[in-house]
Chains A and B, each alone.
Chain A
Amino acid sequence: MIAADLALTQSARRFRAEREPVWIKLDELIGRAEKRGLKDLDAGELAELPVLYRATLSSLSIARDTSLDAALVAYLEALAARAYFFVYGTRARVLAEARRFFAWGWPTAAQSLWRETLVALTLLLVGAVAGWSLCAGDSSWFSTFVPGELAGGRDPSATAGMLRDGLYERGGHGAQGLGLFSAWLFQHNAGIAILCFALGFALGVPTMLLLLQTGGMLGAILWLYGSKGLLPNIVGWLMVHGSTELLAIVLAGGAGLAIARAIALPGAATRRAALGRAGRMAGAQMLGVVVMLFVAGGLEGYARQLITSDAVRWSIATGMGLFWLVYLYLPRRRSS
């Protein structure tokens, strides 16, 4: 054993002895933050966190080059990673984040996805026109667009009187079950919207088919009531919630198509980078869609059953539609 070796060993031990308190302190702070969140640390500890983190990072790079203690290097590696996620990875408080989302994040996402959303809207309208004109040509098409269980007797063989009664009865549910009905509608529609978005990853073809199908159903129903002279009445009945719900479906379709577009046509960026960007925007749009469908569920469950005046139905429908369009597409100032 050479004396120089021993001297070096002493310096390696000193390295650890000198810096160990920093690691232990950081370990303790991060451990608490991981268990109970950053709010568990007081102001002094929060200020200390980045300092301890940087000191540990420097220990890590020294240890990597000079120490052959595998356990020590593994410990520092893990500790540095844990601290990194806290120093650079954590966000502001939930409430601030939510406010930012509604004030800025959602409208901005919707605006940046306007092309895809427009395509989704076009597909829905094409479906509606096709549904209407096919049924107008041959009424046997109706059952193709509107499955029997959904139609519930509302088919071309029904009389105008029957159809009219259906629009103005105060719900077969009675005022009692309306909230429950709303909740059910919400979770059902939101599930479909999320699927519509996720299918965008399959190059968007299923998303487009879903939009066309929904449009076709809409067109067929409008034709049915239109052919009995009940067009304004059905529009009021459908659009009380439909102006919100259909817009939400179009937005979900747009989000799905944005994913599809990033995969198929990533442009100058790599496919991964394009997908990451599109995913961030589409994800924000989808969170908004869930909120809209919640509102739509309430309108469909309550408002449609309780309000039987066409004028009020029409004004709610127009009001809601305008509200969403202005809220989402009014230009925003760029913030942070």
Chain B
Amino acid sequence: MNSPVRTLRTPEGVAIELQLAGGGDRVAAFILDQLVIAGTLLLLTIAAVSALASVRQGFEPVGIIWIVGGFVLRNFYFTLFEAGWRGATPGKRAMKIRVAARDGGRLGFASVAARNMMRELEVFLPLSLLAQGISGEQVDRWTAGAGVLWVAVFVLFPWLNRDRLRAGDLVAGSWVVRAPRPALLPDMGDRGLARLVRCAFTDAQLDAYGVYELQTLERVLREDDPAAIDVTAMTIRRRIGWTGSEPPSAFLQAYYAALRSRQERNLLFGRRRANKSDGSTPPSRDRLDRAAASAKPP
């Protein structure tokens, strides 16, 4: 969850937040894609062999399809998928990440092709050097070792810059971002609102917490784990000195609804309290304080 966030300013003037994809996700997606490629090559080979067995004279077309198909698969699998509407290969889609242009514009086919041809330098050259270094053929081990060290710069590139760009991303003007597809969840305040009639919280009780605690409470209510609900309810009761006898989940729903109404109202007045230790009495703060608080990034 704590991946770096970059903003994309849309032509409409609203900044959309994009999270950079994590290194682990990208490596996993790459491995998945290599498996898909290997599987497809295997199927292609099986199909070629069985076609050979059935049509005796036609060795050549089968061989051509096999060689050219293999080449296209190895070199253009990534390009074809990433240049498409999803901006993602099947592996990237499975890891919920995608490729996007850093300037927010269109990523052309040529840029995507350049991005993926660079992989020759970042993955396949190091691997072949490594293989040569191990087998000791053609070049001696020291030469191969020096080669590995040199290409290591390109392999480690994504860890050497703040936008996690690999060499191909730099060349294509792209980056890899997370592409989550969350569902629209019900508002957790809805159920608590009905209970508010019976639970009249005082202002002091509602000023005990800030946005951070409110959203943590939201998560607890969504996950709906009885043990967590009990502990949370007990902690809040103690802190605000609540003596009512409602069951824990009913109490939490009511308190969440009240707390959110209160804080959203404060928000309209430009008061955003980040967490419980952010200023002790928010309503009495003077304007200067408030201005400073609202200038702070959320």
Contact = CB atoms under 8 A, between A and B. Distances in A.
Interface of A: 1-2, 4-6, 8-9, 12-13, 16, 20, 23-24, 27, 31, 33-34, 37-38, 54, 57-58, 60-61, 65-72, 74-75, 77-78, 80-82, 84-86, 88-91, 97, 101, 105, 109, 176-177, 179-180, 182-184, 186-187, 190-191, 194-195, 197-199, 201-202, 259, 272, 275-276, 278-284, 286-287, 290
A9 B68 contact: no
Contacts, number: 233
Contacts of A16: 187
Contacts of B104: 84, 88
B6 to A, nearest CB: 11
Size bracket of the B interface: 35 or more
A295 to B, nearest CB: 13
B272 to A, nearest CB: 9
A54 B12 contact: yes
Interface stretch (B38-46, B172-180, B224-232): B172-180
Contacts of A81: 8, 16-18, 179
Nearest to A76: B184
Contacts of B70: 187
A283 B257 contact: no
A234 B70 CA distance: 32
B117 A194 contact: yes
A9 B182 contact: no
Given A9-B264, A38-B85, A78-B182, A187 B110 contact: no
Contacts of A89: 87, 100-101, 105-107
Contact of B260 (A9, A54, A180): A9
Contact of A9 (B111, B189, B211): B189
Nearest to A177: B60
A58 B10 CA distance: 12
B120 interface: yes
16 contacts: A1-B201, A38-B85, A58-B14, A67-B264, A68-B264, A69-B218, A77-B16, A82-B181, A84-B104, A176-B59, A183-B67, A198-B119, A275-B173, A276-B102, A276-B170, A287-B110
Contact of A68 (B71, B103, B214): B214
Contact of A183 (B12, B64, B263, B268): B64
B154 interface: yes
Contact of B117 (A13, A91, A198): A198
Q: B-side binding surface: helix, strand, loop or mixed? A: helix
A197 B168 CA distance: 12
A282 B11 CA distance: 28
Contact of B121 (A38, A61, A199): A199
9 smallest CB-CB distances across A and B, nearest first, come from A283-B114, A276-B173, A279-B171, A283-B110, A284-B110, A198-B121, A183-B67, A187-B71, A198-B120
A66 B117 contact: no
Nearest to A24: B184
The A interface, classified by DSSP as helix, strand, loop or mixed, is: helix
Given A69-B260, A283-B110, A20 B184 contact: yes
Given A71-B222, A194-B117, A199-B121, A283 B268 contact: no
A109 B261 contact: no
Interface in B78-111: 83-87, 98, 100-111
Interface in B136-195: 150, 154, 167, 170-173, 179-185, 187-190, 193
A194 B267 contact: no
A70 B218 CA distance: 8
Contacts of B219: 70
B267 A68 contact: yes
A182 to B, nearest CB: 8
Contacts of B233: none
A75 B263 CA distance: 21
B261 A1 contact: yes
Nearest to A289: B117
Contact of A6 (B114, B120, B261): B261
B100 A85 contact: yes
A179 B62 CA distance: 10
Contacts of B188: 69, 71
B187 A13 contact: yes
A279 B172 contact: yes
A1, A4, A259, A286: which has the most chain B beta carbons within 10 Å?
A1
B16 A190 contact: no
B201 to A, nearest CB: 6
B4 interface: no
Contacts of A278: 171
